Amino acid sequence: MTPSPILKVLSTIQKNGVRSLLMGGQACVLYGGAEFSRDTDILVLADAGNLRRLQAAVDELQADSIAVPAFEGRFLEAGHAVHFRCRLPEAEGIRLDVMSKVRGLPDFETLWGRRTTLETADTAIEVLSLPDLVTAKKTQRDKDWPMITRLVEAHYARQPPAPDEATIEFWLLELRSPVILVEVARSFPQACDRLKATRPLLEHAASGDEESLARALQAEQEVEREADRRYWAPLKRELEQLRRDRRERLP
């Protein structure tokens, strides 16, 4: 369950009219893929007005910038994350990470249009859709791949008696357990055949070859991890330069 300090952060952001989508660990908690996360990661619309509203929320949370880059639209639009630590007693110690772009995802307006809204006793939480959250988790970090597996399997475990086409496609395109992927491929052979061109490893799922499927899933993961490394390489170089510049300005 989302701890109350995090609800304080989210309700403050909402109260200030910030257009944002929850992602990261807290979104995984809400979708049943994780048990706890203390960080709060949000995706925001990076226009001037929305960033002013976010600044007001940050001020209300008494949040300090804790790393480079500075909280500026140009850094968010380049793909960087901006990091804060809250000092407001009701949200003491909560880390707030803000981005406006994520590798593999479309623009904010598109993501907003397919968001999930989750109601709590205190506020409505706007969350990145589950398929978009899964895409956002396809990073070079070891911890994100087991999380993807848990997120999609948790969704599959809650399957309705007659899943719709979009749900079936989501499972076929994102499941990472060979046993379950074979099960889904055999349950929905027409959808599986249609999606083989998009995800070729479904050929192994359709034939029930779990050993080959496991190898193909690992290879698929490595392709995504390498793509993420390439995406972040120039951004990391820019961060290193910003750190050097900041050190040089210190007395």
- Clarify whether residues 108 and 182 are in a common domain: no
The counts of H helices and E strands in the chain are 12, 7
Is the pLDDT at 88 greater than 80? The verdict is yes
- In a 3-state reduction of DSSP, which class is residue 248? helix
Residue scoring higher pLDDT (123 or 251): 123
Residue 250 domain flag: no
Q: Which of 68, 95, 129 is the last residue of a domain?
A: 129
Residue 201 DSSP SS3:
coil
Return the CATH number at 13. 3.30.460.40
Beta bridge partners of 40: 96
Q: pLDDT tens digits for 91-131? A: 999 999 999 999 999 999 999 999 999 887 777 899 999 99
Q: Please tell me the predicted confidence (pLDDT) of residue 3.
A: 57
- pLDDT tens digits for range 145-182: 999 999 999 999 998 889 999 999 999 999 999 999 99
Q: Which residues constitute the domain of residue 29?
A: 4-129
Given 105, 129, 153, the domain boundary residue is: 129
| DSSP-assigned states of every residue in 153-189 | HHHHHT--SS--HHHHHHHHHH---HHHHHHHHHHSH
